[in-house]
Amino acid sequence: MIVLHQFPPAFGLPNASPFCMKLELYLRMAGLPYRNRYTLELHKAPKGKLPWIDDDGTTVADSGLIIDYLKRKFGDPLDSDLTVLQRAQALAITRLLEEHLYWAVLHDRWITEAGWAMTRPAFFGALPWPLRIIVPKVARRGLGAELRGHGMGRHTPEQIHALGVADVDALAALLGEQAYFLGIRATSVDAVAGSFLANILMVPLETPIKAAAAGHPNLVAYCRRMAEQYFPENYSPR
């Protein structure tokens, strides 16, 4: 049995980490049985980040590498008939979401005061005193350093929002009138897009990036479609 090590649910979502939610979404889309193990123990994760899996003694870290592993071991029901062009489109969409838009969202959650007022209690509220005071400060400082290391954190908030809005507008154009990002059938890139868009549209934090996404009816409908199809039991869509 696959054991999925991920953060506990937060913000009314299956997971407030888009990478954790992506993997759980993929497992559901591919029809693979799994069990959740909710954890905050990053030091036990093979690469110090979540999610990771333990598949009957085989540990694999990184959502993308885990999906590659799952495809090799259990087959590829979602992507096996994709063309070379569709695979390239999926890769480009994935990179946009994971390597760019993600960092703009992190900025809004961890650096802005409104975001921090939501993130801090949701992620650290269950810690005992004095960890509840110390850990969030250290984590926020570390996240700020990561944002600067990436480069996103060197921009002004206005510039970060403009960059994120451009990503969201591009996603809306790419989705167009299609039901899923590559056409009429859901493929693994929808695990990425569905989880990242839910982490913008279905989180109670009002930002220019969320407003831009909410202004695209196709993205809003897509997000709901994915939620209702794959997480009918534990979503509280806003």
Ligand X SMILES: N[C@@H](CCC(=O)N[C@@H](CS)C(=O)NCC(=O)O)C(=O)O
Residues that bind ligand X (CB under 6 A): 17, 19, 42, 49-51, 62-64
Nearer to ligand X, 172 or 197 (CB): 197
In angstroms, the CA 237 to CA 185 distance is: 23
Beta strands 58-61 and 52-55: pairing type? antiparallel
Q: How far is CA 210 from CA 130, 162, 197, 229, in A?
A: 34, 12, 9, 22
Q: Give the tokens for residue 49.
A: 């980040």
Nearer to ligand X, 48 or 183 (CB): 48
Least CB distance from residue 221 to ligand X, whole Å?
Answer: 25
Nearer to ligand X, 15 or 207 (CB): 15
Least CB distance from residue 79 to ligand X, whole Å?
Answer: 17
Q: Give the tokens for residue 160.
A: 């970060």
In angstroms, the CA 7 to CA 42 distance is: 9
Least CB distance from residue 49 to ligand X, whole Å?
Answer: 3
Assess whether the previous peptide bond of 237 is cis (omega < 30° from 0): no
Nearer to ligand X, 210 or 216 (CB): 210
Least CB distance from residue 135 to ligand X, whole Å?
Answer: 11
